[in-house]
């Protein structure tokens, strides 16, 4: 990572502001904070070489900062002076440069363009561009820079070459650039060059353009050229034009072919002959019209593109002057093209003078590469071609096996002596005709065509009377040529390919080639066939690597790792104390450099960090939470008696990534791997074991010399130059039970105080008698409300006292003290590191891995064993067999290869009974849980078997689903969206009901899981309800309206109220999909899914009349108010509810929905209902009072229906804002309408 002057100035400003803030808030350990912040600044300055101008800018920013003391400024000044004195020795300063991006055509001068346009020497053009890049101070070329350089050269040609030639030009640019020394030593390093060269620094511009200025010419067709240039050998255009080299001559390989091979390959003669015409047509040299693109650019005298020979002969001239060091050796020519020859003087001929007569063809180079590879690995078979190789032995055996075997004589029967038998008749030779491949077939079709011949030819041989071994031999001989034929047919198109050699190689050379490949594979250490295929193809395309020993591979790996050093080396060593008193070392990952290396890739990790920062911005006062996770890995067979290969691993991630990202392996960083230094058995040789390792690693993170993530923050830069800053602290220690005990030094169940979270909870066997202290609790009989929870300070205090007692007490007494407090003492353990006291919080950071509790020999396995035991006792058949068939019938996703049906095999059944648990892994348990729950609900529960056990199992599966699917963010999102579903179809449904019933209405969707004894307890509603069953089944029981008491009769069974004395239900029915049920307001009802099929989904349509004031009771209250106003009496407040003791007939007389009908008829009905309500005639209300009240309520109804209609229309059409915002606006309008009704009633 390259630090700029602006980074340092910003850092100094942030340090000053942070120290000022800390002092104002009375922060502790100010000296330590100041030292840490200054160390971060000086570390960055130590990695820089400052010019006087840069140093002056930093010096001014340092002088102007009022928050830094003179001593602190003096320390920074020393670092600035060191950066200045390092200026002359900049070449010797170790630094890794990022690949630099530069738009090459913009930086070329007119002289450069004249060379590109007029020079007839390809070498001169490449050298001109590379020298210009070196003069600009470019030290490492990015891929796009290479592409623009090649594009600049190609723009000087009239016609473009093919893309294989373009790819060779890319390699030439890289080679030419490496062969030219840096010509801008001592000048500033530019990360990204501006598109306008005049915006370079004055010093660099004057150095580069002392005689002439850049022309800044961009050819018209340059963007099109750039799209055609392949930067990598895996480019799709290169794969399509993959060359096929001419096959070598037959040689001695023909003698190695056996008789059966001849017979099997004889039919391919006709195929080869038919292909000859295709090969001949494809072998012609393409014309310019076939592959070139005519360019219309600024150059008038265009040239044709560079020839392949010109490209291949390009080699940078070696410099003999010591001034031009370092020297770069010329790269080896590609194995797929002719080699450049040397003339008599030892120099390379110019491109136009290559002697084509002495050129080697691609197949010869390929064979030479293979021979070199085999000779290096020592696998070349001695005597090959003389009948002594493995291939010949195998051929002879196959030939012998092809002969008919004599019949065996019966056991014990004597042979006739001197008796000549008639020789057996010779069997007809086996001939198999595979047919002809189509010229238009694709790669997949050809592969399928070649694969089927093994089975077809084998069956044909069996039908003709050959033995099974002979048929298999014929099938192999038939399949191999066809597979090779298809591959050759697919890759034909290289002009170097000769049809005659193609036929000869097809018929005679194939068996030898196959043996050669088999010897290569079997004569070396194991490598998969796909890997070997890719290795051979890479060698064919790029030649043998010059460095190939194991040490070279290690050096290559180390060199790649050394490229990342933004905050120091990527891997570092830290000291640990061993039990024998000596110091040891473990290798750890520099997490800051690791994060920088990941972030600058601009890949998935960069996107994850940026997305998380948008959701959870961080600062010094609001840092991210680091998750520390440790676990032991067992390579190989975990059930082996010897597991010495176990390794301990530490992982890091951030809580702010979210539960979904944290469930993926890619979101976790490997911070420490003991396998780098020692295995798990050697961790036990360290003092305090994993506790010391954890402490050392955390201390390395939070007290690193290059960064303080909790104080100064961590700066990360991407490739585009953008940067972010992260602050983080230790947030949680995620581990299983054994790891927690090891890291925190806990005794667990073996101690008297077995729980680190509880101060006053002790075991029964501790023999503590609760006489002197009434706050002590015994684990056998304790009340959770009386448990006193420990704090972080309590645990730290316990560790401090443990350290003191270690000095004060004798050894045997100290053992008892450890037993009492539930902790083991070791001065190197995590809780005894003074430097980590402010970072480690044992209680608030303690997080248990729930999967171990539930799925690793845990609750799930126990419940499975219990329910299988119960089913065996009650099920008439073999429940294990039935479960195996049902579970095995499920098709799991492709990423899961577990055969869950095998968990119920007979041997598993016996093992489960002996172990007293259901044996399965955690991944198998997660896959089995929902499938087995479905099995119970669809097969076991309908039979009425083990209902309680099935209910317990389904509840466990629900808990597992909740743990996996529900996270804090989803809870928050659910809270924001708790107001309901917003489905256009339901909105249309409500709109239709609104027009039909002329009452406000609403639709709700209810989802109920299966096997619920009581889905919803008995209750009443203030609406008339229409129930529509969508899927599944649900049982409904409807009861008579309950007695009317102090509670609102229309809200019984809610808010803690319980309806007693239900009596027999008026209706008891199971709704199937498509069924409908009507429940009037006030009638009690409850639901259940127990013993029914699957989960239930249903829709309820609520006809809301009472809650919106559209009832007889409101009409009667309004009529009474108008009567009082007519008589001049005082307008009373809202009528008090005097309904206690009423019968339901009396109560429902007025508390009922108000229909939309003629006012005359409605007046008569209202007076009759009022007489029932009051128990007497009501003569004080006249018809005109009722008419006036009815007019007011009808206006209220009209406005209500209009608001509801608008609300559902917008929801159906998806108009307006998001659903929550839209509903809030409509709800506000409805509340305003109800407030207007209250004013009209005189209640507000």
Q: What is the pLDDT of residue 22?
A: 83
DSSP SS3 for 578: strand
Helix H, strand E, coil C: the string for 760-781 is CEECHHHCCCCCCCCCCEECCC
- Give the DSSP H/E element, type plus range, for residue 151: helix 143-154
Helix H, strand E, coil C: the string for 1121-1181 is HHHHHHHCCCCCCCCCCCCCCCCHHHHHHHCCECCCCCHHHHHHHHHHHHHHHHCCCCCCC
Task: Evaluate if pTM is beyond 0.85.
Answer: no
What phi-psi label fits residue 1045: left (phi over 0), alpha (psi between -120 and 50 degrees) or beta?
A: beta
Q: What is the pLDDT of residue 875?
A: 85
Contact 820, 753 (CB under 8 A): yes
DSSP SS3 for 157: strand
Give the highest mean pLDDT range of 250-254, 336-340, 441-445: 441-445
Q: What is the pLDDT of residue 648?
A: 87
Residues of the chain with pLDDT > 70: what percent?
72
Q: What is the pLDDT of residue 449?
A: 65
CB-count exposure of residue 689 (10 Å: 0-12, 13-18, 19+): buried
* Structure confidence at residue 1202 as a pLDDT band (50, 70, 90): very high
Contact 150, 173 (CB under 8 A): yes
User: Tokens 């390699």 appear where?
Assistant: 171
In this predicted structure, which of 228-242, 828-842, 852-866 has the lowest mean pLDDT?
Answer: 228-242
Contact 1242, 1131 (CB under 8 A): yes
- Give the DSSP H/E element, type plus range, for residue 93: none
**Mean pLDDT on 1001-1021:** 88
In this predicted structure, which of 708-717, 833-842, 1126-1135 has the lowest mean pLDDT?
Answer: 1126-1135
Residue 477, pLDDT > 70, answer: no
Name which residue leads in pLDDT, 1059 or 280. Answer: 1059
Residue 390, pLDDT > 80, answer: no
Q: What is the pLDDT of residue 351?
A: 35
Q: What is the pLDDT of residue 56?
A: 86
Give the highest mean pLDDT range of 47-61, 146-160, 724-738: 724-738
**Mean pLDDT on 965-969:** 70
Name which residue leads in pLDDT, 566 or 341. Answer: 566
CA distance 293 to 160: 6
> Where along the chain do its domains lie?
5-92, 104-241, 242-340+362-378+429-562, 565-745+836-846, 746-825, 850-971, 993-1103, 1112-1240
Instruction: Establish how many alpha carbons lie within 13 A of residue 1105's alpha carbon, considering only the half-sphere containing its beta carbon.
Output: 24
Edge-to-edge strand ranges of the sheet holding 1076-1079 = 1001-1008, 1096-1103, 1024-1031, 1076-1079
Q: What is the pLDDT of residue 871?
A: 93
DSSP single-letter state for residue 704: B
Instruction: Give the sign of the dihedral formed by CA 722, CA 728, CA 731, CA 732.
Output: positive
User: Tokens 């040239």 appear where?
Assistant: 303
Identify the CA nearest to 950 among candidates 932, 970, 975. Answer: 932
> What's the pLDDT tens digit per position in 655-709?
999 888 888 888 888 765 443 334 667 788 899 999 999 999 999 999 999 999 9
Residue 471, pLDDT > 60, answer: yes
Q: What is the pLDDT of residue 1196?
A: 92
**Mean pLDDT on 1166-1184:** 83
CA distance 1049 to 1039: 13
> Which tokens is 315 given?
């080699």
Q: What is the pLDDT of residue 639?
A: 58
**Mean pLDDT on 785-805:** 89
> What's the pLDDT tens digit per position in 399-435?
444 444 444 444 344 444 334 444 444 444 555 566 5
- The CA R_g of the chain, rounded to the nearest whole Å, is 43
Residue 85, pLDDT > 90, answer: no
Residue 606, pLDDT > 50, answer: yes
pLDDT, averaged across the chain: 76
Identify the CA nearest to 584 among candidates 707, 694, 677, 655. Answer: 677
Let me know how long the chain is.
1244
- Give the DSSP H/E element, type plus range, for residue 594: helix 591-599
Instruction: Specify the CATH number for 993-1103; select among 3.10.105.10, 3.30.310.10, 2.60.120.650, 3.50.50.60.
Output: 2.60.120.650
Name which residue leads in pLDDT, 1098 or 243. Answer: 1098
**Mean pLDDT on 70-95:** 66
Q: What is the pLDDT of residue 679?
A: 62
Residues 6+ apart with CB under 8 A from 597: 564, 566, 570
Contact 1087, 1020 (CB under 8 A): no
Residue 827, pLDDT > 60, answer: yes
């Amino acid at each position: 990572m390259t630090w700029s002057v602006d980074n340092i100035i910003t850092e100094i400003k942030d340090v000053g502001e942070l120290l000022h803030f800390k002092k104002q808030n009375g922060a502790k350990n100010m000296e330590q904070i100041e030292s840490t912040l200054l160390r971060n600044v000086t570390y960055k300055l130590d990695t820089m070489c400052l010019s006087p101008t840069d140093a002056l800018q930093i010096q001014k920013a340092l002088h102007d900062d009022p928050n830094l003391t003179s001593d602190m400024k003096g320390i920074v000044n020393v670092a600035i002076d060191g950066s200045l004195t390092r200026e002359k020795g900049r070449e010797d300063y170790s630094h890794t440069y990022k690949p630099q991006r530069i738009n090459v055509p913009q930086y070329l001068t007119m002289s450069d363009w004249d060379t590109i346009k007029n020079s007839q020497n390809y070498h001169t053009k490449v050298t001109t561009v590379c020298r210009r890049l070196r003069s600009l101070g470019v030290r490492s070329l990015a891929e796009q820079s290479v592409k623009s350089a090649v594009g600049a050269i190609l723009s000087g040609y009239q016609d473009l070459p093919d893309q294989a030639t373009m790819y060779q030009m890319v390699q030439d640019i890289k080679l030419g650039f490496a062969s030219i020394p840096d010509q801008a030593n001592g000048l500033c390093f530019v990360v990204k060059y501006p598109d306008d060269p005049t915006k370079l620094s004055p010093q660099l511009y004057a150095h580069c353009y002392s005689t002439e200025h850049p022309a800044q010419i961009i050819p018209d067709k340059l963007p099109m050229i750039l799209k055609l240039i392949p930067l990598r050998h895996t480019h799709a255009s290169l794969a399509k034009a993959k060359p096929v080299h001419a096959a070598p001559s037959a040689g001695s390989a023909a003698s190695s072919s056996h008789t059966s091979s001849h017979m099997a390959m004889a039919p391919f003669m006709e195929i080869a002959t038919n292909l000859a015409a295709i090969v001949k047509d494809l072998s012609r040299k393409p014309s310019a019209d076939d592959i070139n693109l005519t360019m219309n650019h600024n150059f008038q005298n265009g040239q044709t593109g560079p020839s392949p020979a010109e490209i291949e002969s390009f080699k940078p001239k070696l410099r003999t002057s010591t001034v031009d060091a370092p020297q770069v050796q010329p790269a080896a020519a590609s194995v797929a093209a002719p080699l450049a020859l040397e003339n008599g003087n030892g120099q390379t001929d110019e491109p136009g003078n290559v002697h084509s007569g002495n050129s080697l063809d691609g197949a010869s180079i390929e064979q030479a590469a293979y021979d070199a590879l085999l000779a290096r690995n020592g696998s070349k078979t001695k005597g090959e071609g003389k009948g002594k190789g493995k291939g010949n032995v195998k051929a002879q055996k196959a030939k012998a096996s092809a002969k008919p075997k004599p019949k065996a004589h019966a056991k014990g029967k004597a042979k006739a002596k001197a008796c000549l038998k008639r020789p057996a008749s010779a069997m007809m030779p086996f001939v198999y005709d595979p047919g002809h491949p189509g010229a238009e077939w694709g790669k997949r079709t050809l592969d399928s065509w070649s694969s089927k011949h093994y089975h077809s030819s084998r069956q044909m041989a069996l039908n003709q009377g050959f033995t099974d071994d002979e048929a298999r031999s014929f099938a192999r001989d038939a399949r191999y040529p066809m597979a090779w034929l298809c591959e050759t047919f697919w890759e034909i198109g290289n002009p170097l390919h000769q049809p005659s050699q193609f036929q000869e190689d097809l018929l005679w050379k194939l068996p030898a080639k196959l043996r050669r490949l088999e010897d290569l594979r079997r004569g070396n250490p194991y490598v998969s066939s796909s890997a070997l295929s890719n290795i051979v193809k890479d060698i064919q395309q790029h030649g043998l690597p010059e460095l190939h020993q194991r040490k070279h591979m290690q050096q290559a790996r180390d060199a790649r790792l050394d490229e990342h050093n933004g905050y120091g080396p990527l891997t570092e060593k830290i000291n640990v104390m061993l039990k024998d008193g000596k110091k040891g070392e473990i290798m750890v990952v520099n997490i800051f450099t690791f994060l920088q290396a990941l972030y600058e890739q601009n890949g998935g990790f960069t996107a994850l960090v940026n997305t998380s920062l948008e959701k959870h911005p961080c600062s010094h006062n609001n840092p991210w939470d680091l998750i520390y996770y440790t676990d032991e890995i067992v390579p190989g067979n975990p059930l082996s008696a010897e597991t010495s290969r176990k390794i301990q691993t530490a992982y890091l991630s951030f809580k702010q990534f979210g539960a979904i990202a944290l469930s993926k392996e890619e979101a976790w960083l490997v911070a420490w791997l003991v396998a780098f230094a020692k295995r798990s058995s050697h961790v036990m040789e360290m003092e305090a074991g994993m506790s010391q390792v954890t402490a050392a690693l955390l201390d390395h993170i939070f007290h690193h010399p290059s960064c303080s993530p909790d104080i100064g923050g961590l700066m990360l830069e991407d490739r585009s130059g953008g940067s972010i800053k992260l602050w983080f602290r230790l947030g949680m220690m995620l581990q299983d039970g054994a790891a927690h005990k090891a890291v925190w030094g806990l005794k667990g169940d073996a101690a008297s105080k077995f729980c680190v979270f509880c101060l006053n909870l002790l075991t029964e066997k501790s023999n503590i008698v609760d006489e002197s202290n009434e706050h002590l609790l015994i684990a056998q009989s304790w009340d959770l409300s009386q448990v006193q929870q420990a704090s972080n300070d309590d645990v730290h205090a316990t560790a401090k006292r443990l350290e003191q007692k270690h000095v004060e007490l004798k050894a045997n007494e100290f053992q008892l003290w450890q037993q009492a407090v539930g902790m083991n003492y070791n001065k190197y353990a995590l809780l005894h590191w003074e430097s980590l006291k402010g970072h480690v919080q044992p209680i608030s950071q303690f997080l248990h891995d729930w999967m171990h509790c539930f799925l690793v020999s845990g609750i799930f396995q126990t419940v499975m064993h219990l329910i299988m035991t119960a089913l065996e006792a009650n099920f008439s058949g073999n429940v294990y067999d039935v479960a195996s068939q049902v579970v095995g019938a499920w098709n799991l996703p492709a990423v899961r290869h577990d055969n869950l049906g095998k968990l119920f095999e007979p041997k598993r059944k016996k093992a489960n009974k002996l172990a007293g648990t259901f044996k399965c892994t955690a991944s198998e348990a997660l896959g089995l849980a929902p499938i087995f729950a479905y099995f119970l609900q669809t097969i076991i529960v309908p039979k009425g078997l083990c209902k309680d056990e099935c209910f317990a199992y389904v509840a466990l599966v629900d808990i597992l689903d909740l743990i996996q699917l529900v996270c804090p963010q989803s809870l928050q999102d659910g809270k924001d969206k708790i107001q309901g579903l917003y489905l256009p179809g339901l909105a249309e449904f409500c709109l239709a009901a609104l027009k039909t019933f002329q009452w406000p209405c609403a639709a709700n969707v209810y989802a109920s899981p299966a096997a619920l004894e009581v889905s919803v307890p008995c209750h009443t509603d203030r609406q008339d309800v229409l129930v529509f069953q969508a899927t599944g089944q649900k049982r409904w029981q409807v009861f008579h309206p309950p007695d009317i008491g102090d509670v609102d009769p229309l809200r019984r069974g809610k808010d803690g109220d319980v309806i007693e004395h239900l009596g027999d239900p008026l209706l008891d029915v199971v709704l199937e999909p498509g069924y409908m049920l009507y429940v009037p307001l006030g009638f009690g009802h409850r639901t259940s899914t127990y013993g029914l099929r699957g989960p239930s989904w249903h829709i309820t349509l609520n006809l809301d009349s009472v809650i919106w004031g559209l009832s007889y009771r409101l009409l009667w209250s309004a009529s009474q108010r108008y009567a009082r106003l007519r008589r001049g009496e005082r307008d009373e407040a809202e009528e008090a509810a005097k309904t206690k003791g009423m019968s339901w007939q009396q109560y429902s007389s007025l508390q009922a929905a108000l229909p939309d009908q003629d006012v005359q008829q409605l007046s008569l009905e209202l007076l009759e209902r009022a007489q029932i309500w009051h128990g007497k005639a009501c003569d004080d209300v006249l018809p005109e009072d009722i008419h006036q009240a009815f007019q007011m309520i009808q206006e209220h109804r009209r406005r209500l229906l209009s608001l509801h209609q608008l609300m559902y229309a917008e929801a159906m059409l998806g108009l307006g804002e998001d659903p929550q915002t839209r509903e809030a606006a409509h709800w506000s309008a409805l509340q305003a309408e109800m407030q207007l009704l209250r004013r009209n009633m005189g209640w507000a």
